[in-house]
A and B are shown apart, each in its own frame.
Chain A
Amino acid sequence: MNATPESRAPLSGSRIRPSAPASVASSVSRISARDVTVHYGPKQAIFDVSIEIPEKSVTAFIGPSGCGKSTFLRCFNRMNDTIEGCKVGGLITIDGDDIHDPSLDVVELRARVGMVFQKPNPFPKSIYDNIAYGPRIHGLVKTKAETDDLVESSLKKAGLWKEVADRLDAPGTGLSGGQQQRLCIARTIATGPEVILMDEPCSALDPIATSIVEDLIHELRAQYTIIIVTHSMQQAARVSQKTAFFHLGKLIEYGETEQIFVNPKEKQTEAYITGRIG
């Protein structure tokens, strides 16, 4: 760990300590990254990124393809561990806990920090089993009745209950793309996470399914801290409160979404927003 927290000014204008009272929840910093670097073998993908992500809000990561936004997102639930030759440096804390601390169980971390992937990836199991998978492996449900309840409530939260209530035994892979993606969101919700990471969740969906998922993200914000990677600037503008712009592995600018889109401070941000790079 080469973190030198105080030597580096946070890029966010509003940095509030995690110990702030719960009443101002929307501005409490739950996730904090300091000087995070990522290497794929000899190639460096992320350069000293520091960021504070507020609780119960949607933070969007934008930037051109290959800028490292997805790689950076995967640091928060340590999915980069599963990639051969990938090394993450720097300090990342959630609620003040260092997620790379040897005493912290990565399996538990991933239950707390859920992830929705770019392409809907339901397991080739029934809709019911897709949702029950996480709770079962984490021992969150004991009886059939508890499982039933959790499946129902998760599907309801993901806005999918009405569409699939009568065919919970049907394979999850038989749903439409948008439904599959909401199934994956429901599956993530079922393990009771605090944070949900979304890696371009709508890139494989049509405009109607996209708008349904965006509405869902809007509702989930009340309960979860959401980080969403998107290459659609309109989507970032629609769903997020804060936006971070990445370019070539560096965090160029981070601030309120409105400010980023209306009045970007950095030239590169402006160039990207107006379509000159990316």
Chain B
Amino acid sequence: MTSLLIAALVLALMAVAYQQGVSRSKALAGVGRLHSRPQYHGALLALWATLPLLLILFLWLVTSGTLQDWYIAGQIPAEIAPGTSEYAGAAARLRNIASGFGVAGEAQAWETAAGVNLARFNTTLLMAAVGLGAILGVAALVLMRGRLSARMRARNHVEAAIKALLIFCSVVAILTTLGIVVSLVAETLRFFTFVSPVDFFFGTVWNPGYSTTSNDASGSYGMLPLLLGTVMISVIAMAVALPVGLMSAIWLTQYANPRLRNVIKPVIEVLAGIPTIVYGFFALVTVGPALSGLGDLVGLRVNATSALTAGIVMGIMIIPFISSLSDDIIRQVPRAMRDGSLGLGATKSETIRMVIVPAALPGIVGAILLAVSRAIGETMIVVLAAGNAPILRFNPAEPTSTFTVTIVTALTGDADFASPQSLVAFALGLTLFVITLMLNIGALAIVRKYREQYE
């Protein structure tokens, strides 16, 4: 509710400033020729009026936690010494009472009182911030309104503001990525204080013992079984998706008549819109038992949840990905190539095989690598359909496990977050990240090389 009110206040300030700018600008237009259209003066004034408020709100966001801690310190009775776990627990309880979440057990009288005080403190702090921001905003509005002039280059200033906004957004994106990587690396390094990297990267047994104490690294953490499972499922997925996807792309671009293509292409692309969890239970309920039954018919023992099931369903999931990308790439092969080959008397399929596909090959390889990195990172299908058996074996009809599945199990259990059983998730995540990063870099390099070819 409060945030809505603040947003409304910001918008109102913006609207008033804009209107003021426009009207002032129109008044100025009578005096001399305007450098910028009135809208730009309005936008500039709106910017000036809201900037102080936004800045102060940002400041509040950053500092309010510290200010709260300081206030809480004054509320907690002296018997509870700062720095103890008891103290931290009491502080957390106060915060919960103040925010209205409620706490486990009966709140003591002093807790309730302190909570109410804290809530009041928070509200006052926010109101002060908003009030100060609004006053500064109005002041800026009045000040800048007086400084508007006909020759003012409002248009250029707005341009600079837009540029700043764009840079800000890019920086946010980059910093987020960086932050994720740093946190992954930090946790991974912590994990390696329990388990040596050699045991992790080259170990063939995955069997993390479950212990409740956080310093015990009992069990083995060899990632090779998981790597094998991941690779096996990805290979099966590509074996399904590649021929189907590529050939459907060739048919769509070269043979299908346009009216049919306009129907078929969206239908294939609908496959890409199905949530992976739906594919997951499709694998679990339909494909798994069907494969198992098929195996019985020919005398093979096929597990319902196995690398095969997960791989096939993942392949189906990737088909639209490959077909859609390949479609675009094949379409990019200049018509002149095709005409050149047809003009020499090649048939359609000869032209496709010997000219179009080779010309599009680098791009198609790029598409395949992108698809592979997607297959490796896919989680829901394997969680449901692969059986979660992290054992090093090469039989695709047996249950297996992957990086992603193991990360899910490591982090959803009730092991302590500081234990190697949980920390291993970060090491696995980082490994997965590096693998997909390599694949993506490779794919992009190939795609870029391909782009230069016809220029």
Contacts and interface: CB of A to CB of B under 8 A. Distances in A.
B343 A77 contact: yes
A187 B345 CA distance: 12
Interface residues of B, number: 22
A82 B342 contact: yes
A114 B343 contact: yes
Interface in A143-198: 173, 184, 187-188, 191
B340 A121 contact: yes
A9 to B, nearest CB: 33
B85 interface: no
A117 B343 contact: yes
Contact of B258 (A84, A111, A184, A191): A84
B46 to A, nearest CB: 51
Contact of B453 (A114, A138, A173): A173
A124 B355 CA distance: 8
Interface stretch (B58-66, B128-136, B331-339, B405-413): B331-339
Contacts of A123: 337, 340-341, 355, 358-359
Contacts of A122: 340
Given A107-B347, A114-B344, A191-B345, A82 B339 contact: yes
B4 to A, nearest CB: 55
Nearest to B333: A124
Contact of B344 (A82, A111, A119, A125): A111
Nearest to A171: B453
Contacts of B350: 137
Contact of A188 (B258, B336, B344): B344
Interface in B295-344: 334, 336-344
Given A119-B336, A124-B453, A133-B354, A108 B345 contact: yes
A86 interface: no
B344 A133 contact: yes
Contacts of B84: none
B257 interface: yes
B346 A137 contact: yes
Nearest to A184: B340
Nearest to A106: B345
A151 B31 CA distance: 79
Contacts, number: 70
A121 B334 CA distance: 9
A79 B340 contact: no
A188 B341 CA distance: 10
Contacts of B342: 79, 82, 110
A60 interface: no
Nearest to A120: B336
A131 to B, nearest CB: 10
A109 interface: yes
Choose among B343, B350, B355 the residue with the greatest number of A CB atoms under 10 Å from its CB.
Answer: B343
Given A137-B354, A173-B453, A121 B337 contact: yes
A224 to B, nearest CB: 15
Contacts of B338: 82
Contacts of B346: 107, 133-134, 137
Contact of A137 (B257, B258, B344, B453): B344
Interface string A20-61: 000000000000000000000000000000000000000000
A84 B257 contact: yes
17 contacts: A82-B339, A107-B347, A110-B345, A114-B343, A121-B334, A123-B358, A124-B337, A124-B358, A125-B358, A133-B346, A133-B355, A134-B344, A134-B345, A137-B346, A187-B340, A191-B344, A191-B345
Interface of B: 257-258, 334, 336-347, 350, 354-355, 358-359, 453-454
Interface of A: 77, 79, 82, 84, 107-111, 114-115, 117, 119, 121-125, 133-134, 137-138, 173, 184, 187-188, 191
Given A84-B258, A110-B345, A123-B340, 5 more contacts: A82-B338, A111-B344, A123-B337, A124-B358, A173-B453
